[in-house]
Structure 1
Amino acid sequence: MNNTNAFDYIVIGGGSAGSVLAARLSEQENIQVCLIEAGSSDETPRIQTPAGTITLYKSQKFSWNYYSTPQPRLGNRHIHVPRGKALGGSSSMNSMIYIRGLPSDYDLWEQAGCEGWGWQDVLPWFKRSEKNLLQQDAAYHGVEGELLVDKPRDPNPVSALFVAAGVRAGLPENHDFNGPALSGVGIYNVTQKEGQRLSSYRAFLHPHLGRSNLTVMTDCQVETLIMDGKTVQGVRVIAAGETHATALRCRKEVILAAGSIGSPHILMKSGVGPRAALAAADVAVVHDLPGVGQNLQDHLDGLVTVRSKSALTLGFSLAAWKPILTAPFRYLFARKGWLTTNYVEAGGFASTPLATGEPDIQFHFVPGYRSHRGRLFEWGHGYAIHTCVLRPKSIGSLRLGAGKQLEIDFNFLADPYDARVLVEGIKTARKILAQPEFAALRGEEMLPGKQVQSDEQLHQYVKEYCATVFHPVGTCKMGRDAMSVVAPDTLKVHGIDNLRVADASIMPTLISGNTNAPSIMIGERAAEMILRGGTLASTTSNKERAYA
């Protein structure tokens, strides 16, 4: 560990991308690396046990618990935005689903001016990270990486009913959503090791904490970047319990990996962002960069939730006393039982009538009752399908408010197309749940409810109840246009020296699925850029190295 306050590289954020970055950079013994994480240790069963994820989303300790500004097209509702606040970041609180999205997602990035980020360019880096335990197609999967990809240890039998019902409803069964096709229904692959969560931190960084050139600082929040003109010289941080900021100096670079909410927030607090917005927040403008905090995108989600009397589903009732009481013992001794669930064990991708070829909706099936009142727990049993819009057209933004606090405006349903797709997606979800496979479990549909049938009624339901599945991206997008924040070939912030961004915020458009795996890929590529000369071009000859 470095006993001074100077490092070669300072990585801000110990999440999906930041943990990879710190691990890869510190492989070089002559490089001093410091990782700064605002959250604390992940040493708790709430994080390590898969079923503990349900306790994390509104945790005062492990979640940032952001809320959006009132959304005018959603009845002025404030949308909850949980982001991970611990080593591992959001990969320490997510549902552990391993999804990459469509090849066309990345080809679209390349077509938008992000040369070197097409599907054939990024696939080797996905494969480099992955240790696939399922003997899936080697053309798409790696087997020597640190991130274990496995099947759920003990999926609830109702998850299999969902898959069978989806097939009967006309969707193909898909055994590998990261293989040649995305469409269909199936049991999701998860990032777990022997039935425990495998966050990016646990996979990549935790095994190497003994490195003498690696310093990991937890409970340490970044106040601002230290700037000399337009050159970053370090960061000011406030440790837990401290009242005064400490300066950490970088000899080479600072890399922002604080996520799509945290990274633009730090930039704006440091005077890098849209001039008028910074001035309005009483922040001295260091560099006018209009795209910072803009281009916010997230998957809009709608819920169908059904009550059931069947104790086969996850839930709390007198009839379920046996699986509840035996769950700790089954998990401890066999990694089986209720505590193994990630709650969204099954799901899939489908095309609504509005799709133009590729799937435009994703399902997350829950073999338990999702509260129609928004509660964490409800007494009784049931099942639910979350349906989200894969490529929404509504674009939001972040800005600084009073006291430099962040204001998050998703601008949901600004484009009516998103509501139309979600309505069609809810119809598809209902079609799956209407199949005979659910006959023995069927009960009352609580949301949207049997009285909600017409398109007009479903549109109103979407406005009153839709939320997100927690996949914000795009707020420091890479590109060459006037609204881009980082250069595609370096991930360096336009107009600022010694500063890069490497996390989901650089995505110019939202990918078709869960964002953890793509964020890890971004961390891999950023580290390789730095280690191989600082640019994307310098990594081209090392593609084979990525999955050799």
Structure 2
Amino acid sequence: MWPFDSQYPCKRLQDIADQAYDYIIVGGGTAGCALASKLSESPETTVLMLEKGPIKDGYQSRIPLASVANGIYTKRQNSSLGNRPVPILSAEPLGGNSRINAMIYTRGTPAYYNQWARTHPAWSWVNVEPYFCKVENSINLCQSRELESNIYPFLRKSASALGLPLGHDINRPDSPAMGYFDLHLTVDSKQYRHSAVRAYLPKEVAVRRRARLHICTGVVASRLHLDASTGLVKGVFVQSSEAKQTDSKTSPRKPTLVTARREVILGAGAIGTPKILQLSGVGPRLVLERVGISVVRHLPGVGSNLGDHCLFPVHVQVPVHETLQQLQSSTLQRAKHAILYAVAGKGWLRSAVDRAILPCTSHFDEEKGAVLATEAADDGETLPDVEIMVVPIGSLPELYPGKSMFTLQTCLIQPESTGTIEITSPDP
């Protein structure tokens, strides 16, 4: 289980300067890795993928519990929430958020896709299910329960008392829409985190295709190169992610142009993609003019309609030995679980979240304290609107210093609120 990998093949900024590729992919996250892998299958096609962060695919980054802590939190005040700062989690290593998330793998209930199919039939569950099967490789790992918290059996009994089904496969299309589920995790046969870069661009693939697939890390796309006469995207201006302004009178290092013979694909995520477009002069006129960027194309939709699943925690104080806090407070426990994971892939380090409760609040009788119906997942009337993830540690330790907490991380999975992404400076 102890990996000693040789160096992952990466390009530097000077290696790609003034080069031309068939495809340029901006962003090396989950989508970027999948696209780069697929497009570079052809020996006749050249692909460049640009990523701000490093590889960082060492041993610790692949331990499920340890790698969860590698995210970057950006806080922004929200006027709709009394100007309280709302943290937004992101990741910079190659592989994006698949390197730092909770590794929960859920397809989504069939009814979601059938609703989308009202707009376009290609999105129906019947049409998308084969693609899930294509990318999945189910590994039946024995999940040892002897070391888990004693809180879980009580939660299971509570869910049953409410009328929620127990023990179903959350990803089976014929499972109930609501229930208490053991979650599927994106881990490999050795219980390591299986990120997008490991799934689509493992080192052996990157090495084998290094002549036609260039992965350049530590860079940012400062803006797109647009043809003045046609408005078509012809390339990307790229600069080092370390290129910072030293003061207000100093310009950042001059970006390098890389051109695309076929397409430039923006895969920089919900925040990064509209940012690049706006930096390129494509977006809402008022936003661009406010920061001194010339308007190439007035498109009000760029950066609008941001949606996300809002989380709010419910904390319960429990004995410390029932939570992950025992690893923080005891050197002996840390050593014990480190050995358990390294030798057998067991213990607390394998995951922090592997259970969830999914109810539909509109089908809950508050007087009786029970669920009214638990129809199949293809029934649009009983789609869950809340997901309660069971987290064996306090998610906001600063609120309860010195106390051991258990968190029911409550998530709105059908949010109706929307937001916007707007640049505040021309500096990428």
Indicate whether 1:36 and 2:50 are aligned: yes
Q: Are the counterparts in 2 of residues 16 and 200 from structure 1 also a CA contact under 8 Å?
A: yes
Corresponding residue for residue 360 of structure 1 = 385
User: 8 Å contact 2:320–2:326 — kept in the other structure?
Assistant: no
**Cα 1:50–1:244 shift into 2, 3 Å:** same
Identify which of 352, 359, 373 aligns with 1:350. 359
- Give the match for residue 91 of structure 2: 84
Q: Which residue of 1 aligns with 2:222?
A: 223
Report the Cα distance in structure 1 between the residues aligned to 2:168 and 2:390, rounded to whole angstroms: 16
1:126-525 equivalent positions in 2, closer than 5 A: 126-134=132-140, 156-158=148-150, 160-161=152-153, 162-179=155-172, 180-181=174-175, 182-193=177-188, 194-206=190-202, 207-210=204-207, 211=209, 212-229=211-228, 230-241=231-242, 243-316=253-326, 322-341=332-351, 343-353=352-362, 356-373=381-398, 379-403=402-426
Shift of 1:156: 2.2
Map Cα deviations across residues 429-467 of structure 1 (whole Å, 9 max, x no partner): xxxxxxxxxxxxxxxxxxxxxxxxxxxxxxxxxxxxxxx
Instruction: Please state whether the residue corresponding to 2:353 is helix, strand or coil.
Output: coil
1:264-313 per-residue CA deviation (whole Å, 9 max, x = no partner) reads 11111111112233223322111222211111111122211111125133
**Displacement after TM superposition at 1:371 (Å):** 3.2
Amino acid at match of 1:347: A
Quick one: distance in 2 between partners of 1:239 and 1:362? 40
CA distance in 1, matches of 2:385, 2:101: 22
CA shift in 2, pair 1:53/1:87, >3 Å: same
The one-letter amino acid paired with 1:74 is L
Q: Cα 1:318–1:33, aligned 2, differ >3 Å: closer, same or farther?
A: closer
3-state SS of 1:34 partner: strand
Counterpart-to-counterpart distance in 1, 2:99 and 2:68: 12
Distance in 2 between residues matched to 1:36 and 1:385, nearest whole Å = 37
Contact 2:54 2:94 in 1 (8 A): yes
Unaligned runs of 5+ in 1: 58-62, 135-149, 406-548
Q: Is the 8 A contact 1:13 1:36 kept in 2?
A: yes
CA distance in 2, matches of 1:273, 1:318: 46
Q: CA RMSD in A?
A: 2.5
Determine the C-alpha separation between the residues in 2 that align with 1:183 and 1:37: 38
- Equivalent pairs counted in the alignment come to 379
Match of 1:442 in 2: none
Change (3 A) 1:345 1:318: closer
Q: What is the percent sequence identity of the aligned residues? A: 30
* Deviation for aligned residue 1:43: 2.0
Contact preservation (8 Å) 2:326, 2:333: no
Q: Distance in 2 between matches of 1:251 and 1:314?
A: 51
Amino acid at match of 1:308: V
Are residues 170 and 120 of structure 1, via their aligned partners in 2, closer, same or farther at CA, if it must alter by over 3 Å?
A: same
Aligned CA distance change for structure 1 residues 339 and 357 (closer, same or farther; 3 Å): closer
2:353 maps to a residue whose letter is V
Structure 1 residues 370 and 66, CA gap change in structure 2 (3 angstroms): closer
Instruction: Report the AA paired with residue 184 of structure 1.
Output: G
* Distance in 1 separating the partners of 2:301 and 2:142: 40
Does the CA contact (< 8 Å) of 1:151 and 1:190 recur in 2?
A: no
CA contact (8 A) 2:170 2:182 kept: no
SS in 1 for 2:398: coil
What one-letter code is carried by the residue in structure 2 that aligns with 1:208?
V
CA displacement 1:358-411 (0-9 Å, x = unmatched): 211101101223335358xx6453311011111111111111224457xxxxxx
Of 52, 67, 70, which aligns to 2:75?
A: 67
Partner of 2:31: 17
- Quick one: which amino acid aligns to residue 328 of structure 1? A
Match in the other structure for 1:476: none
Partners of 2:328 and 2:334 within 8 A in 1: no
TM-score normalized by the length of structure 1: 0.65
Could you say if the C-alpha distance between residues 77 and 404 of structure 1 is closer, same or farther in structure 2, counting changes exceeding 3 Å? farther
CA contact (8 A) 2:327 2:334 kept: no
Deviation at 1:241, TM superposition (A): 5.0
Query: Once the two structures are superposed, what CA deviation does each residue of 1:13-72 show, in whole Å capped at 9, x if it has no partner?
Result: 111111000001111111001111101113234421111134213xxxxx3x3323x223
Provide the C-alpha distance between the structure 2 equivalents of 1:133 and 1:365, rounded to a whole number of angstroms: 23
Change (3 A) 1:383 1:165: same
Residue in structure 1 matched with residue 114 of structure 2 by the alignment: 107
Alpha-carbon separation, structure 2, partners of 1:159 and 1:97: 20
Moved over 6 A (4+): none
Kindly provide the amino acid, as one letter, of the partner of residue 156 in structure 1: E
Cα distance in 2 between the residues matched to 1:346 and 1:236: 44
Q: 1:319 to 1:303 in 2, by over 3 A?
A: closer
Aligned to 1:483: none
Shift of residue 168 of structure 1? 2.9
Q: Distance in 2 between matches of 1:379 and 1:340?
A: 25
Q: Deviations over 1:150-177 (max 9, x none)?
A: 6767672446423343223321114311
Q: Using the alignment, how far apart are the partners of 1:170 and 1:184 within structure 2?
A: 8
Work out whether residues 274 and 302 of structure 2, in 8 Å CA contact, stay in contact via their aligned partners in 1: yes
Amino acid at match of 2:396: S
- Give the letter for the 2:206 counterpart: L
1:115 to partner: Cα distance: 4.7
- What SS does the corresponding residue of 2:322 show, helix, strand or coil? coil
**CA gap 1:96/1:6 in 2 versus in 1, 3 angstroms:** same
In structure 2, the CA distance between the partners of 1:267 and 1:183, relative to structure 1 (3 Å rule), is same
User: Using the alignment, how far apart are the partners of 1:9 and 1:257 within structure 2?
Assistant: 12
Using the size of structure 2 for normalisation, the TM-score is 0.82
Distance in 2, Cα, partners of 1:129 & 1:100: 12
Give, in whole Å, the separation in 1 of the partners of 2:234 and 2:331. 59
Task: Quickly say closer, same or farther: Cα 1:404–1:110, change in 2 above 3 A.
Answer: farther
